[in-house]
Amino acid sequence: MILQVHDELVFDIYRPELEHMKKMIEEKMKNAIPSLKVPIVVGMGTGENWLEAH
């Protein structure tokens, strides 16, 4: 992770590892607070820069 802006996290990921990392990051984010009674919704985008990822 290279940056956090409000509720967004920005990662710089080696392209061949992208799909694996997306799955891992989503799982870690959804389960970050095990005792939470409501689900955490995770959305992801990819791109060469922050604008493309949106």
Q: What is the DSSP string of the chain?
A: --EEETTEEE----GGGHHHHHHHHHHHHHTSSTT-SSPPP------SSHHHH-
> Each residue of 1-54: pLDDT tens digit?
998 888 899 999 999 999 999 999 999 999 999 999 999 999 999 999 888 998
Q: Using CA atoms, how far apart are residues 52 and 46, in angstroms rounded to an integer? A: 7
pTM summary value: 0.84
Q: What are phi and psi of 19, to 5 degrees?
A: -65, -45
